[in-house]
A and B are shown apart, each in its own frame.
Chain A
Amino acid sequence: MPRQPVLEVRDLEVTFASERGVARVVDGVSFDLAPGRTLGLVGESGCGKSLTALALLGLVPPPGQIAGGTVRLDGRDLLALTEAERDAVRGRRIAMIFQEPMTALNPVFTVGDQIAEVLRVHGGVPRRQALETAVAMMGRVGIADPQARADAFPHQLSGGMRQRVMIAMAMICRPDVLIADEPTTALDVTVQAQILDLMLGMQAEFGTAILFISHDLGVVSEVADDVMVMYAGRIVEHSPATSLFSAPLHPYTLGLLQALPRVDRHLGRPPAMRGGMPDPCALPRGCRYSDRCPMAENMCRTREPSLNGAGAGRWVACLKVAP
Chain B
Amino acid sequence: MTAPLPGRSPLALAMARFRRHRLAAASLALLVLLALFAAAAPMIAWVLGVDGETVDLMGRFAGPSAAHPLGTDELGRDVLVRLLYGGRVSLLVGITAALASAVIGTFIGLLAGYFGGRLDALLMRLTDGIIALPLLPLLIVLAALDLGKLGLPEWLEASEQISLYRIVAIVAVVGWTTVARLVRGAALGLRERDFVQAAIAQGAGPMRIMGIHILPNLASPIIVATTLSAGNVILLESVLSFLGLGIQPPMPSWGNLLTNAQELIWSAPALAFYPGILIFLTVIALNFLGDGLQDALDPKATAR
In the complex, A91 has a CB within 8 A of chain B: yes
Which size class do B's interface residues fall under?
Answer: 20 to 34
Across-interface contacts of B141 in A (CB, < 8 A): none
Chain B, residue nearest A154 (CB): B195
Chain B, residue nearest A99 (CB): B194
In the complex, B151 has a CB within 8 A of chain A: no
Shortest distance between the CB of B251 and any CB in chain A (Å): 42
In the complex, A145 has a CB within 8 A of chain B: yes
A153-B9 in contact (CB<8A): yes
How far apart are the CA atoms of A205 and B199 in the complex, in Å?
A: 25
A106-B203 in contact (CB<8A): no
Chain A, range 61-111, C-beta contacts under 8 Å to B: 84, 87-92, 95-96, 98, 100, 103-109
Across-interface contacts of B197 in A (CB, < 8 A): 59, 98, 104
Q: Mark A31-63, 1 if CB is under 8 A from B, else 0.
A: 000000000000000000000000001010000
Taking A105-B195, A106-B213 as contacts, is the C-beta distance between A148 and B203 under 8 angstroms?
Answer: no
How far apart are the CA atoms of A155 and B2 in the complex, in Å?
A: 18
A122-B203 in contact (CB<8A): yes
A104-B3 in contact (CB<8A): no
Shortest distance between the CB of A127 and any CB in chain B (Å): 12
Across-interface contacts of A88 in B (CB, < 8 A): 203
Interface centre among B5, B10, B198 (most CB of A within 10 A): B198
* Cross-interface CB contact of A98 among B3, B5, B198, B212, cutoff 8 Å: B198
Shortest distance between the CB of A183 and any CB in chain B (Å): 13
Task: Return the 4 tightest CB-CB contacts between A and B, nearest first.
Answer: A91-B202, A91-B203, A90-B203, A103-B194
- Extra A-B contacts (16), CB below 8 Å, given A104-B195, A109-B216, A152-B5: A57-B201, A91-B204, A95-B201, A95-B202, A98-B194, A98-B197, A98-B198, A105-B195, A106-B199, A108-B219, A117-B204, A117-B212, A122-B203, A144-B1, A144-B3, A156-B7
Residues of A at the B interface (CB closer than 8 Å) are 57, 59, 84, 87-92, 95-96, 98, 100, 103-109, 117-118, 121-122, 144-145, 148-149, 151-153, 155-156, 166, 169
Residues of B at the A interface (CB closer than 8 Å) are 1-3, 5-7, 9-10, 193-195, 197-205, 208, 212-213, 216-217, 219
